[in-house]
């Protein structure tokens, strides 16, 4: 994961030279290297489905976002046809001999590696519940036909100041 802070992200070389922090996080991190309330917005495209600890990340994003800051991310929609097909593929290939046989094809092997790593396939209610635990509120509901697309594009606003780590008992599903 690459990070940068303190500047409006324009993607120019000058921006990257002026950046206060540009680097990669270690594999096991627990705190982002930014001050509290440092950002107006955070965009995470195709990230959340790969995270080992969603609540750690949401807590840190709540910490570094300013009050009324915006969190935008996209995640797989488990109800879409494509995601149901992926789920079926994983079920069919649970036996090692089947997986070994079809993964001799490099493209298929890459596809199943992606499926194995993309573990957080939650429904819309679960994403809303998880973000609410960290002081976020949905900005806009999905339009009528968006609920069948392969990805949810979600936007939340930080609505409460979040400075204390929530006890782990809050992370039990409703």
Q: What pLDDT does 137 receive?
A: 92
Total length of the chain:
174
How far apart are alpha carbons 129 and 123 in whole angstroms?
Answer: 10
Domain annotation covers residue 47? yes
Domain annotation covers residue 63? yes
Q: What pLDDT does 23 receive?
A: 64
Q: How many domains does the chain have?
A: 1
Q: What pLDDT does 7 receive?
A: 42
Range of the domain at 73: 31-171
Domain annotation covers residue 22? no
This prediction's pTM: 0.74
Domain annotation covers residue 89? yes
Q: At what angle do helices 54-64 and 124-132 cross, to 10 degrees?
A: 50
Q: What pLDDT does 32 receive?
A: 85
- Residue at token pair 């001799």: 104
Work out the burial of residue 71: count CB atoms within 10 Å of its CB; fewer than 13 is exposed, 13-18 middle, 19 or more buried.
buried
Domain annotation covers residue 21? no
Q: What pLDDT does 63 receive?
A: 92
Domain annotation covers residue 12? no
Which residue intervals of 21-153 are DSSP H helices? 54-64, 81-92, 96-102, 106-117, 124-132
Instruction: Report mean pLDDT in 10-residue bins for the chain, 174 residues.
Output: 45 50 68 88 90 92 93 91 90 89 91 88 90 90 66 88 47 42
How far apart are alpha carbons 51 and 108 in whole angstroms?
Answer: 23
The per-residue b/e assignment along 136-150, b for 16 or more CB within 10 angstroms, e otherwise, is beeeeeeeeeeeebe
Domain annotation covers residue 42? yes
The two tokens of residue 64 are 């570094």
CATH number of 90's domain: 3.40.50.150
């Amino acid at each position: 994961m690459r990070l940068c802070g303190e500047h409006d992200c324009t993607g120019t070389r000058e921006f990257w030279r002026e950046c206060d922090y540009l680097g990669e996080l270690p594999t096991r991190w627990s705190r982002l290297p930014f001050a509290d309330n440092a950002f107006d917005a955070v965009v995470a495209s195709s990230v959340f489905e790969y995270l080992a600890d969603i609540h750690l990340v949401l807590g840190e994003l709540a910490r570094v976002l300013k009050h009324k800051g915006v969190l935008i991310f996209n995640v797989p929609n488990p109800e879409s046809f494509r995601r149901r097909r992926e789920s079926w593929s994983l079920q069919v290939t649970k036996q090692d001999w089947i997986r070994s046989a079809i993964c001799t094809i490099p493209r298929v092997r890459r596809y199943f590696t992606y499926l194995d790593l993309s573990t957080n396939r939650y429904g819309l209610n679960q994403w809303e519940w998880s973000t609410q635990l960290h002081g976020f509120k949905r900005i806009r509901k999905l339009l009528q036909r968006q609920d069948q697309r392969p990805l949810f594009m979600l936007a939340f606003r930080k609505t409460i100041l979040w400075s204390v780590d929530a006890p782990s008992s809050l992370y039990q599903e409703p």
